[in-house]
Amino acid sequence: MRLVIQRVTEAKVIVDEQTVAETGPGFLVLVGFGREDGKELPDSKVWSKMLDKLMNLRVFTDEDGKFNLSLKDVSGELLFVSQFTLYADCRKGRRPSFTNACPPELADSLFDRFVEDARVVAPAKVETGVFGAEMFLDFTNWGPVTITIDSKDL
C-alpha cells in the first residue's frame, strides 16, 4: 500500500465536467494498492499504522512556523483518490508496466475500506474521487508539502 499525501488549502475532483468531491484545508491523499496487498490487509497492523501515520503526520505549522501540528490538531479535511499508477514500473522501455498494481476488484474494496476506516478517526470531512473513473484533480498544494508513505517501510 502506498500513500502520496499532499497538504492542500483546497482540493476537488472533477469527473465528466462535474465536481464530485471537494475539500478545504487538509490532505489530498493518492492511495495505491500493490499486487502483494491482499484481502486480509485491513485486519493487519500495517493498515492501522498507515491510518495512524496519516492522521498524526505533523506537517502543519504551529505559531512558530514549525511542523508540529497534525491533521487532527488542525481539524483538517481529507480527499482520497485511488491511483493504481503509484505502482508503475518504469525500469524497462518508455511505457510503464502496471503488473505490480493490485487487481481492480480487490483494490476497489480495499480503497472503500480504507476510506471507511479513515472516516471513523478523521477530524473533519472526508471525500473521495470515483474509483476507476478518469478524474481531473484541481488543488492548491500548500507549502508545497508532499509526503510518500509505503507500507513496506513501516
R_g of the chain computed on alpha carbons = 15
Do β-strands 2-15 and 18-23 pair in parallel, antiparallel, or remain unpaired?
antiparallel
For residue 98, CA distances in Å to 10, 82, 101, 148, 154 come to: 30, 14, 5, 19, 23
Residue whose cell numbers read 500513500: 3
Neighbours of 85 (CB within 10 A): 10
Catalytic residues: 83-85
Pick the closest to residue 3 from 59, 65, 63, 61 (CA basis): 59
Cell of 33: 494498492
